[in-house]
């Protein structure tokens, strides 16, 4: 049974009440979307911090639980292209062109070379990461470059707000 069938027009005696409910829903959704954006940025900052610790002190600083929380615990599946694109972006100190990202991913995941068009595959994933709020694009020299979203680059003017 559809919602419109269960909620009779008598529940809302006038359009003003409906308008108020719709406005309240709009405000709540906007607030939740802002919270999600902030949460994604904080997760990005934490992941980048962990990567820095690993590069300084080695993999031994990570326990199984932290690896699982970060999504790096071996799930039995073969390594994914999206995961490798995330890793490359998080590891970089500057925005990267798709070709640079693709080259670094191929070093870590040689099977990317089996894709019909590896650059197109990586570009699609990068654009999805932008859509998820995990990455952002910048234009440099007429070319798009991608970078990982963190609280640091957000506060310094980076990122797509």
Which one, of 80, 51, 72, lies nearest residue 150 by Cα? 51
Fold for the domain defined by 43-155: Arc Repressor Mutant, subunit A (1.10.10)
Contacts of 105 (CB under 8 A, 6+ apart): 81, 84, 85, 88, 112, 122
> Would you list the domain boundaries of the chain?
43-155
Give residue-wise pLDDT tens across range 111-132: 888 889 999 999 999 999 999 8
The CA distances from residue 16 to 4, 8, 22, 23, 152, in Å, are 18, 16, 10, 10, 44
Give residue-wise pLDDT tens across range 94-105: 999 999 999 999
Model pLDDT, residue 77: 46
Whether residue 78 is predicted with pLDDT greater than 50 in this model: the reply is: no
């Amino acid at each position: 049974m559809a919602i419109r069938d269960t909620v009779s027009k008598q529940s809302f005696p006038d359009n003003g009440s409906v308008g108020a409910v719709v406005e309240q829903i709009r405000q709540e959704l906007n607030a939740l979307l802002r919270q999600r954006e902030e949460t994604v940025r904080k997760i990005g900052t934490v992941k980048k911090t962990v990567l820095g610790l690993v590069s300084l002190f080695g993999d031994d600083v990570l326990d199984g639980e932290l690896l699982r929380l970060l999504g790096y615990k071996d799930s039995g599946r073969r390594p994914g292209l999206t995961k490798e694109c995330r890793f490359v972006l998080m590891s970089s100190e500057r925005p990267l062109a798709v070709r640079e990202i693709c080259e670094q991913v191929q070093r870590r995941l040689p099977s990317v070379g089996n894709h019909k068009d590896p650059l197109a595959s990586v570009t699609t994933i990068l654009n999805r990461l932008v859509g998820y709020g995990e990455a952002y694009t910048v234009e440099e020299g007429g070319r798009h470059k991608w970078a990982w979203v963190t609280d640091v680059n957000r506060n310094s003017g980076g990122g797509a707000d």
